[in-house]
Amino acid sequence: MTTNITSDIVTSLPEHMLSEILKHAASNSIADFINVKLCCKAFERASNYENVSLDRVSLVPWRKCEKGFQKRCKAANNAEALYRKGMINCFSRRKSESGLRYLKKATEKGHVEAVYTYGIILICLDGELRKQGLRVLSSLHLPKPNEGSSRMIASCRSKTEKFLRCMWVHVALTGPKGICCNCDCDIEEKPNHSTSKECQTWDASNDVGHCCDYCFWDREANVFCSLLRKYLVN
């Protein structure tokens, strides 16, 4: 009787509320998500892998249940799952074209770290792709100087390094050649003591008020390339 009453209550809830409950369950653990999803048909119908959180799933999953969960999320065009697949394909599996497609998809869904990674990769390729990369990165809308932008950049760097630590990095990038923009750039390079000597970089919290977008992202691309070299498997 209790089970039937509970099922009736769940069935009476609007689908968007059921989806929110499933998202909350996924943020706790995959097991919670699956258990809630299987408890009644209403949750099964409301399950949407596109918007669930992958925070409880390893960046590079090894357990079968995590692999299966992340695969379903990717199939549903979950932005975080697309970003993770793009990172793996680009820098570990040497499938750069495939990796860029996944990162582009995640970028189009507004995934911040994907925008950061995809844009920087394009900047490093020079030519028209460099211009395209700058347009992609401009979608982050980072006003300078701005503490919020510094936090966003620091968060992207942190996520990138955390990801690289979890996988075999077989691909590195060469930093952009840069251009002569005569912007009177006032950024001074400072060592970042939290990383190795190879990865000494300008401080993301620096005042970049007199720095054009080209100089700003050229320097950030070099930070990214330094992180890749730091974890590159020889």
Tens of pLDDT, residues 57-115: 899 888 888 898 899 899 999 999 999 999 999 999 999 999 999 999 999 999 999 99
Residue 41 resides in a domain = yes
Residue 200 resides in a domain = no
Q: Is the pLDDT of residue 195 over 50?
A: no
Q: Which domain holds residue 19?
A: 13-53
pLDDT at 74: 95
Cβ pair 211, 183 in contact under 8 A = yes
3-state secondary structure of 232: strand
Q: pLDDT grade, residue 16 (50/70/90)?
A: low
Higher pLDDT, 18 or 60: 60
Cis-peptide, bond into residue 61, ω within 30° of zero:
no
| Residues 194, 32: Cα–Cα separation, whole Å | 36
Alpha helices of the chain — where are they, by DSSP H?
2-12, 15-28, 30-39, 41-46, 64-75, 79-91, 96-108, 112-124, 127-138, 147-165, 213-231
pLDDT at 14: 61
Residue 40 resides in a domain = yes
Q: What total number of domains does the chain contain? A: 1
Residue 233 resides in a domain = no
Residue 42 resides in a domain = yes
Q: Is the pLDDT of residue 119 over 90?
A: yes
| Residue 104 CB coordination number (10 Å) | 16
Residue 118 resides in a domain = no
pTM score: 0.77
